[in-house]
Amino acid sequence: MHKSKYSLIKSSFGYSNSGESYKAIFYYFLPEFITALILYSLPYFVDCFFIAHLKSTEIYTISGVVDNVLNAFVKAAEGLSIGTVAIAGCYNGLKEYKNVGRSFVNSLWMSILIGGIISSALYFGGYWIYSFFNFTDEMIILGLPFLKIRSVSMFLMFIFFAFIGFFRSIKNTFIPMVLFAIGSVVFILFDYILIFGKFGFPQLGLQGSAVAYLIQYMVILFCAIVYVFYFSLHEKYEINFWSGISSWDEISTLLRVSFPIVIDKTIMACAYIWLSKMLSCMGPYALASFSVIKLMERMAFVPATAFSQVITFLISNDIGRKKWQDIHANIVKVLILASGMVAILLAIGSCYPREIINLIDQNKEFGSLAAAVFPALSILVFFDLLQLILSGALRGAFDVKTVMMTRVCVICFYFIPVSYGLSQLSIESDTLKFFLIYGSFFIGNALMSIVYIRKFSKRR
């Protein structure tokens, strides 16, 4: 047993030929990193930076909380899209092109239905959503128009992700990348123009950010539809958007395939929503601090996000041949690379927290709390990195059930009750209370990692 562990350590540092080389892993990582940075993290950072220049802590808090809430539904849309890839992709492999088109139309109408329900709930339930986070009446009045506009863009996003699922199911990954890139450029451009009122457009402030999201999804959804018709995909796959749902059995299959993925993806997003609720007991400055810390973590975590994609397809390529030594070596190598890159970024953030946070905290109101907490929390972030990489490895091993059940159990039976108990404690130091509540989330990630490690340790 000791010899086996020693061999694994040797292979992970390149002393044997087990697994991929570090050079090869980095080659796989680079495009995923660029995609994660440019298409996902950078637009969000730019948006926060623009909103911060409005010099209102209340406005920044509203933006951060709404982003947290909507992120859970983004994950749901992604889960449905993956279900579309699985079902339509199966038909495409069999060259049953008519069934590919039928599956796409079914998933499209299902996305319209689910997206419509969610968007309506967000549109009409804004008051109760803000009240859940203990917002004042003034902040609720300020935030309602923002959430209503974002809810409409959320509806378009569900439809758009149905198209993304269709493109990926026919093995066209280039067009989704192009569409996301177009969306990022459009969003950043209109975000700047509408928040600050440039080039003759009205200065909309916070609402300008919401309108920019709406324009983004209008543009990329229009481009997706045009692509389907311009390249005659509607003819090849016999796509008829007006045919409605043709098979409720297939809808049932779509939901059954998507459900574990939706739960897996949304449970972590919901944990952040609950975390916001627990921190809201400390007031709006604590929520603003949470938003800026989460932003800093998100930027530092980009390499880990990219590596989680890499480890998934590395494991999936080795699992069929049961090359366990290569699998274990690749996991360790990816963990080493991801930890090193994230550690550098977190170290920069920990050494210069005030300088970075002041880019967002223009009024110097909540930055002191965030700056005091971030260096300590950055150490616990590595538990999140560990669970992210290991969960990606389990997905590559086709063990999505373990990831889903582990996350649900830890969030529901550990994180929620523990964080709630900590929020009820009378602790004089806001810094300590903030750290304990936020830190309980990362301890939950450590518990998840223990389960994942034990799962892999049984496979040799």
Distance CA 228, CA 162 (A): 13
Q: In which band, very low, low, confident or very high, does the pLDDT at 17 lie, cut at 50, 70 and 90?
A: low
Which class for 45: exposed (0-12), middle (13-18), buried (19 or more C-beta within 10 A)? Answer: middle
The more confidently predicted of residues 239 and 18 is: 239
Among 158-162, 189-193, 284-288, 334-338, the minimum mean pLDDT is found in: 284-288
Short-list 377, 289, 391, CA closest to 57: 289
Distance CA 160, CA 218 (A): 9
Distance CA 187, CA 165 (A): 22
- Whether the CB-CB separation of 377 and 435 falls below 8 Å is answered with yes
- Whether the CB-CB separation of 226 and 220 falls below 8 Å is answered with no
Q: Give the angle subtended at the CA of 201 by the CAs of 200 and 206, to the nearest 5°.
A: 145
First-residue to last-residue Cα distance in the chain? 11
pLDDT at 89 over 90: no
CA 282 to chain centre: 26
Distance CA 376, CA 251 (A): 47
**179-191: string of b/e by CB count within 10 Å (b at 16+)?**
bbeebbebbbebb
Give the pLDDT confidence score for residue 324 in this predicted structure. 77
Helix/strand/coil for 38: helix
Q: Give the angle subtended at the CA of 297 by the CAs of 316 and 391, to the nearest 5°.
A: 20
Q: In which band, very low, low, confident or very high, does the pLDDT at 214 lie, cut at 50, 70 and 90?
A: very high
Contacts of 422 (CB under 8 A, 6+ apart): 278, 433, 436, 437, 440
- Whether the CB-CB separation of 138 and 91 falls below 8 Å is answered with no
Give the pLDDT confidence score for residue 311 in this predicted structure. 86
pLDDT at 290 over 70: yes
pLDDT at 460 over 70: no
- Whether the CB-CB separation of 36 and 223 falls below 8 Å is answered with no
CA 150 to chain centre: 17
Query: Helix 430-457 and helix 367-396: axis angle, to 10°?
Result: 10
